Amino acid sequence: MSMATATAQPVERVNYLNKEYGVWSWLLTTDHKRIALLYLLSITFFFFIGGFFALMIRLELLTPAGDLVQADTYNKLFTMHGMVMIFFFLIPSIPAVLGNFLVPMMIGAKDLAFPRVNLLSWYLYIIGAIMMLHCMLTGGVDTGWTFYTPFSTAFTNTKIVEAGLAIFIAGFSSILTGLNFIVTIHRMRAPGMTWSRLPLFIWAHYATSIIQILGTPVVAITIVLVAVERTLHLGIFDPKLGGDPLLFQHLFWFYSHPAVYIMILPSMGIVSEIIACFARKRIFGYSFVAISSISIAVFGFLVWAHHMFVAGISVYAALVFSLLSYSVAVPSAVKVFNWTATLYKGSIRYDAPMLYAFGFLGLFTIGGLTGLFLACLGIDVHVTDTYFVVAHFHYIMVGGALMGYLGGMHFWWPKISGKLYPEGWARLAALIVFIGFNLTFFPQFILGYVGMPRRYYQYPQEFQVLNVLSTAGATVLGVGYLLPMIYFLWSMRYGKPAPDNPWNAAGLEWKTPSPPTTYNFEEEPVVTWEAYNYDEIDAAHKEEVPVAG
């Protein structure tokens, strides 16, 4: 504890940021909040790398001819864009940054169940990330992020094994994070924090962790088999040796479909927190939203072959997976309806986090609905492997997951950094992101529908206008992403100090100082209230004006 000095200067309160200084106090920390920041730096770095590849792709696609890069290089660009964004940005992003920071605080715990495993998880991510960087700098991979066989096992000359190993190690990081969250949520809740009082952010991360635990090992073994086939020529997937390339696709998508739910569920958790706070209302249908998170996790494991409708599976299998894919949309729709119902008769404020939540609502809905188009076999035969699919998944992953992530970063930034970000700039950035995003990806729906294939670097002349619009949108989007980077950094030095609860939000994390101390709570909290008790909170604060911004 710091002691009062003899001077008139107020001493800065001890918190998790200033408790210890020095590189080793960060690299050997077991404080979940510091580990969250370590992850924040890492995944932001990889976001830039993935974004760079995206920029190169969109630059090439400005013109119909393949004139910026060679065909092989283009293959590497979209492959590396996908691998980096999925494995080194999206999958860790919310759980490893906001999840690590908030899960213990939201349940009233001092830390996660296994703090040292948490640190190990970050180191595994870094090892995998460095390996992937090295792979990219020494030639990269050109198979598409899906590295289908037999191209990846028998024909390509690029660095599949190294990239596979990098993803394998990063996957282990993901597994350990999920393991930590599940045990923490089960065993470390404060007295009175029953399952039905948990914030929906926690339910979302619990469901995500189930997927991480059960799904990631399958892609791990798939990578092992590909590596073994490439190096030792054991032909599990090789038709020449009696193997089946489709077995690879089944094993790959068994993880990679649930993986997309790893990417979206945490974001949905954030949206629940933001909407409740900025509508000053309990989330409508709390239990339905909680159960739907678990349903998405479970159903998400049953639909993988909808990525294989035209790969050669039987039409009866395709029918079954089509039906299951329709049903997995139901719990997601339940959430969207419940969030909308929460807004009804709420006292809505349009702060930046809420703008991102609104963006999420609209864009996730579009992305999700277009998923239903793809689940329909007749439509899928027409648009599969076209830009329609590309637009669909970017609407969900960028318009959905990334918007939620940005909203969450803004919402909890005062808690994490102890500073307020500039609200005016934040609202502007949210608007720029929304406009840039739609300009980038909406034309791609049309492009896909009229026949532009994905992963091609040249296209017929008549598609150029839409491609140019898309590239223009990408530039705007890039500006929109740069702005928060700048003003968050700015706020750490020049921002107004944040109060403990700038939003008057519900949740145990807001009952700590901003920024929190290392062990979060002075005394273990005892919870006697339901989640999102905004009516109680607002009754007590009726005379106060919210202080954010």
Partner 1 sequence: MAAVHSEAHGETHNPALLHHFATEEQQRDASSFGMWIFLATEVMFFGGLFCAYLIYRRWYFGDFAAASKSIDAFLGGTNTAVLICSSLTVVLAIWAAQTARRALMIIMLLLTMLFGLAFLGIKAVEYKQKFDEHHVPGASFSFEHESIPGHPDQYANPRHAQIFFALYFVMTGLHALHMIVGLGIFAWLLWMAWKGRFTPEYHTPLEIGGLYWHFVDIVWIYLFPLLYLIDRHP
Does 187 interact with partner 1 (rule: CB under 8 A)? yes
* Least distance from partner 1 to the Cβ atom of residue 236, Å: 6
Pick the stretch among 5-13, 184-192, 390-398, 505-513 that binds partner 1 (CB under 8 A): 184-192
Nearer to partner 1, 31 or 380 (CB): 31
Task: Please select the residue that binds partner 1; options are 13, 233, 382, 541, rule is CB under 8 A.
Answer: 233
Find all residues with CB under 8 Å of 501, minimum gap 6, and list them. Answer: 510, 511, 514
Find all residues with CB under 8 Å of 397, minimum gap 6, and list them. Answer: 85, 90, 260, 263, 264
* Least distance from partner 1 to the Cβ atom of residue 214, Å: 5
Task: Please select the residue that binds partner 1; options are 105, 163, 175, 262, rule is CB under 8 A.
Answer: 175
List the one residue out of 230, 223, 224 whose CA is nearest residue 158. Answer: 230
- Give the span between the Cα atoms of 290 and 297, in whole angstroms: 11
Does 236 interact with partner 1 (rule: CB under 8 A)? yes
Does 103 interact with partner 1 (rule: CB under 8 A)? no
Does 214 interact with partner 1 (rule: CB under 8 A)? yes
Find all residues with CB under 8 Å of 514, minimum gap 6, and list them. Answer: 414, 415, 418, 497, 498, 499, 500, 501, 502
Q: Any idea what DSSP says for residue 419?
A: B
- Residue that the structure tokens 């009866």 belong to: 316
Does 55 interact with partner 1 (rule: CB under 8 A)? no
- Give the span between the Cα atoms of 117 and 200, in whole angstroms: 25
Find all residues with CB under 8 Å of 462, minimum gap 6, and list them. Answer: none
Pick the stretch among 76-84, 173-181, 394-402, 411-419 that binds partner 1 (CB under 8 A): 173-181
Cβ(218)–Cβ(257) below 8 Å: no
Does 154 interact with partner 1 (rule: CB under 8 A)? no
Nearer to partner 1, 239 or 460 (CB): 239
Cβ(289)–Cβ(330) below 8 Å: no
* Least distance from partner 1 to the Cβ atom of residue 290, Å: 21
Task: Please select the residue that binds partner 1; options are 234, 333, 377, 527, rule is CB under 8 A.
Answer: 234
Does 150 interact with partner 1 (rule: CB under 8 A)? no
Give one DSSP letter per residue of 63-80, joined into a string: SSS--SS-HHHHHHHHHH
Does 207 interact with partner 1 (rule: CB under 8 A)? no
Cβ(263)–Cβ(90) below 8 Å: yes
Does 297 interact with partner 1 (rule: CB under 8 A)? no
H-run or E-run covering 343: helix 315-343
Does 235 interact with partner 1 (rule: CB under 8 A)? yes
Does 127 interact with partner 1 (rule: CB under 8 A)? no
Nearer to partner 1, 168 or 488 (CB): 168
Does 182 interact with partner 1 (rule: CB under 8 A)? yes
List the one residue out of 76, 69, 254, 251 whose CA is nearest residue 160. Answer: 76
- Residue that the structure tokens 């930034």 belong to: 413
φ, ψ at 268 (rounded to 5°)? -65, -35
* Least distance from partner 1 to the Cβ atom of residue 48, Å: 31
Pick the stretch among 61-69, 207-215, 403-411, 480-488 that binds partner 1 (CB under 8 A): 207-215
φ, ψ at 453 (rounded to 5°)? -75, 155
Restricting to residues 341-380, name those near partner 1 by CB under 8 A: none
Does 522 interact with partner 1 (rule: CB under 8 A)? no
- Can you say whether residue 192 is alpha, beta or left, with left for phi > 0 and alpha for psi between -120 and 50 degrees? left
Nearer to partner 1, 4 or 232 (CB): 232
Does 298 interact with partner 1 (rule: CB under 8 A)? no
Does 221 interact with partner 1 (rule: CB under 8 A)? yes
Q: What separation in angstroms does the CA of 459 have from each of 6, 70, 74, 215, 455?
A: 73, 14, 13, 37, 11
Does 241 interact with partner 1 (rule: CB under 8 A)? yes
Pick the stretch among 159-167, 237-245, 267-275, 433-441 that binds partner 1 (CB under 8 A): 237-245
Pick the stretch among 12-20, 88-96, 154-162, 185-193 that binds partner 1 (CB under 8 A): 185-193
Pick the stretch among 221-229, 360-368, 438-446, 476-484 that binds partner 1 (CB under 8 A): 221-229
Helix axes 200-232, 245-279, angle to 10 degrees: 160
What does the block give as tokens for 72? 């092989």
Task: Please select the residue that binds partner 1; options are 8, 242, 316, 345, rule is CB under 8 A.
Answer: 242
Does 549 interact with partner 1 (rule: CB under 8 A)? no
Interface with partner 1 (CB under 8 A):
109-115, 117, 175, 179-180, 182-183, 186-188, 213-218, 220-222, 224-225, 228, 232-236, 240-244, 247, 251, 254, 519, 524
